[in-house]
A and B are shown apart, each in its own frame.
Chain A
């Protein structure tokens, strides 16, 4: 007899997460007790859930049928490797974000929206767990909406601000576009299989045309949620305007649900043509490059991080696209390496992007602004946050001793294998994609040099109202845990290799891999460990020597970018915009920023300003003008509705008369009238 212990553990974890915010609703708004209860609930739920996930990885897939029949099919839930793999970041984020919220969004300062924030936090987490377990389309969509709607309320937590409301609405519209597309996709599934059970299709069941429609619907529906270009338009504003831990949840965890959906549902489609993989690889490349290019042009710290999410989704999709090409052409090696890169980057991005958002939140908390060009010199005041941000930044750039490097390395290896293949499509795609990945890495590095330099180094650019203080321990511990995980995966990647292998095997429905996934023999994981340790050692030695020398030489303390002036001021420092100017200039054709330049007319120039604005390419340049056009079109119908009762009655009368005439046998009447 099989006990369903793992599923029951995970489901009860979801229930506990959903309940975590409810005591806060019943308690007084003044006490800090409610938030502590919520955090304790979340941490307990996460511990229970992680135990369930561990059981899944140890014992294998567990599935059960809930005693509930919907639309003729029993509600089936299952926890296989893929579900369990994606549940891990959800659980981790649920607990860490809740703990971070104790310091970042304390009840004492946010009496109004604190309880609702914690309630919807728990619900969003529970919804995600539910949909990851679901094997019934209705249950899946329920989980999907339980995730998406609370996320709307989380984004619009500070709904008294107009830009927050706007971001919330755009998010709501976008997420429902995705939901609608998924409805269409499930309708096609139901049309083919005759049931709402989520299962793999057989080759004989559907033709290529139908499968391609399902593929495209899945790509759009889940692409909107994942923030794939060009469906990313909701993402920057929503991430920028939400509280920082909510941004972290959206970016680090919720985007990955879109990736999960893609992997799950495209995995169900049998015998994919190569073009699907190429489409995914290409959209990954586009998302990656454009994401990082737009990130460089941003002035708002959280918007910048949001565009980096798009970039990382691009990298994840590149790995998945490579695996898809491997699946079509029957190359197990590419599938293993591509999926390993894709999946590990899902975890890694969940770690370092959350770390970045949380430490950025801490920096914003202490400087009181989100504008990069108004911050500066924060490392002196909040050294630990600065260190955490640095770890996250190094990781997101894919540099060696940290985890971002490992997953990108998998993708690189896979691309190199594909590039040496004889199939023309495959090697062309891979040979084009590998340099793109390198370009993404280089641009990300430039971008984070800009951010770290402008925000944490140098001097404060504005007179500080109060000395910024280091984040409280409740905020530092989550950041510390995440940074530790980044280092752990980066230095000891073989610790996650078994989990990855099991997950990759659980995605392999067609049996291409023949139940063997020798990830650790395919990739030099021990070499990564050695290199990482060596690199860390060298860095420590260099740091030690340099700091000794600085102490010895007694060099004068001065502003970082003083440029040899006798009396430098803070305003002479490089700003983030000027640092990025060369790169934004190179990509001007894509970015096309709006520039307000002063025009000097007389000899004695008047005081003037120079401003650049970077608008959203899809939302601001395409969707909003299109929406305005449609609105204009509908305005023409205005005269039809003026609020006059007479007019409406005339409509009623006209309708009645037209309906009567409709039923009238006009021809017979005419013949009766005009013939005898």
Chain B
């Protein structure tokens, strides 16, 4: 089981770098949805015997992260008619390198964490940290509102991986609540994206600074 889990985590890490390095927004959405699907499978692999909690959490994650949210985002993209992230603050290659650096840092750091040794897979904590960093890089370097949503999603994925550590202990309600929060947030942002597009004729969130007094 653990070797499979490790393999999945490595794929997740690779997907992070892929999301950082591509300029096509549709690709990013697909990458993130794939990441979501993989994450959804993970609770099933961690639990020794399948419990109802793990199954339902897994199903909800697959449904929301893998299907519903990407569909919503694709529709939002179609409405505002953009395809590429044109002007990132840092170029795609440098941000990918930064992501790789962050992954290395996460691996380095996770060995120093006291909780790492107690848990079964040594890759879980570094993968979570690296995904969180990748989300931060997406959030801070991309200007378009949709790519920023992707940043939030990747960030949330990182937190979700962290949650794997506690999958036995964490109540189902908390898990589902977090997912519901995410869903509502994305839903609202998708509506906002349309409005930003109409008001500013652009999805560049830096223009929102014009709203300050």
Residues of A with Cβ closer than 8 Å to B? 642-646, 649-650, 652-653, 656, 660, 663-665, 668-669
Shortest CB distance B126–A (Å): 12
Q: Which residues of B contact A665 (CB under 8 A)?
A: 112
Q: Which residues of A contact B111 (CB under 8 A)?
A: 669
Is B20 on the interface with A (CB-CB < 8 A)? Answer: no
Q: Which residues of B contact A646 (CB under 8 A)?
A: 89, 139-141, 143, 205-206
Q: Interface code B137-163, partner A: CB below 8 Å = 1, 0 otherwise? A: 001110100001000000000000000
Q: Which residues of A contact B112 (CB under 8 A)?
A: 663-665, 668-669
Can you sample 5 A-B contacts with CB below 8 Å?
A643-B211, A644-B209, A646-B89, A646-B205, A650-B140
Q: Are A643 and B212 in contact (CB under 8 A)?
A: yes
B interface, over-half SS: helix
Q: Choose from A645, A650, A664, A668 the contact partner of B205 (Cβ within 8 Å).
A: A645
Given A645-B208, A646-B206, A660-B109 contact (CB < 8 Å): yes
Q: A663-B112, A669-B108 are in contact. List 16 more A-B contacts (CB 8 A).
A: A642-B209, A643-B208, A643-B211, A644-B209, A646-B89, A646-B140, A646-B141, A646-B205, A646-B206, A649-B136, A653-B133, A653-B140, A664-B108, A664-B112, A665-B112, A668-B112
Shortest CB distance A247–B (Å): 37
The interface size bin for chain B is 10 to 19
Q: Choose from B140, B208, B212 the contact partner of A649 (Cβ within 8 Å).
A: B140
In the assembly, what is the distance between CA of A294 and CA of B173, in Å? 72
Shortest CB distance B141–A (Å): 8
- Using CB atoms, name the residue of chain B closest to A650: B140
Q: Are B209 and A643 in contact (CB under 8 A)?
A: yes
Given A650-B140, A653-B140, A644-B206 contact (CB < 8 Å): yes
In the assembly, what is the distance between CA of A669 and CA of B105, in Å? 12
Chain B residues 160-211 with CB under 8 Å of chain A are: 205-206, 208-209, 211
Residues of B with Cβ closer than 8 Å to A? 89, 108-109, 111-112, 132-133, 136, 139-141, 143, 148, 205-206, 208-209, 211-212
Among all A-B residue pairs, the 9 with the closest Cβ atoms = A643-B212, A643-B209, A653-B136, A649-B140, A650-B140, A649-B139, A646-B140, A644-B209, A664-B112
In the assembly, what is the distance between CA of A663 and CA of B108, in Å? 12
- Using CB atoms, name the residue of chain A closest to B209: A643
- Using CB atoms, name the residue of chain B closest to A641: B212
Q: Which residues of A contact B132 (CB under 8 A)?
A: 656
Q: Which residues of B contact A663 (CB under 8 A)?
A: 112
In the assembly, what is the distance between CA of A663 and CA of B113, in Å? 9
In the assembly, what is the distance between CA of A649 and CA of B137, in Å? 9
In the assembly, what is the distance between CA of A643 and CA of B212, in Å? 7
Shortest CB distance B213–A (Å): 9
In the assembly, what is the distance between CA of A649 and CA of B140, in Å? 6
Q: Which residues of A contact B211 (CB under 8 A)?
A: 643
- Using CB atoms, name the residue of chain A closest to B145: A645
Shortest CB distance B72–A (Å): 21
Q: Which residues of A contact B89 (CB under 8 A)?
A: 646
- Using CB atoms, name the residue of chain A closest to B114: A663
In the assembly, what is the distance between CA of A489 and CA of B89, in Å? 81
Q: Which residues of A contact B212 (CB under 8 A)?
A: 643
Shortest CB distance B203–A (Å): 13
Q: Which residues of B contact A652 (CB under 8 A)?
A: 136
Shortest CB distance B33–A (Å): 23
In the assembly, what is the distance between CA of A80 and CA of B49, in Å? 80
Q: Which residues of A contact B205 (CB under 8 A)?
A: 645-646
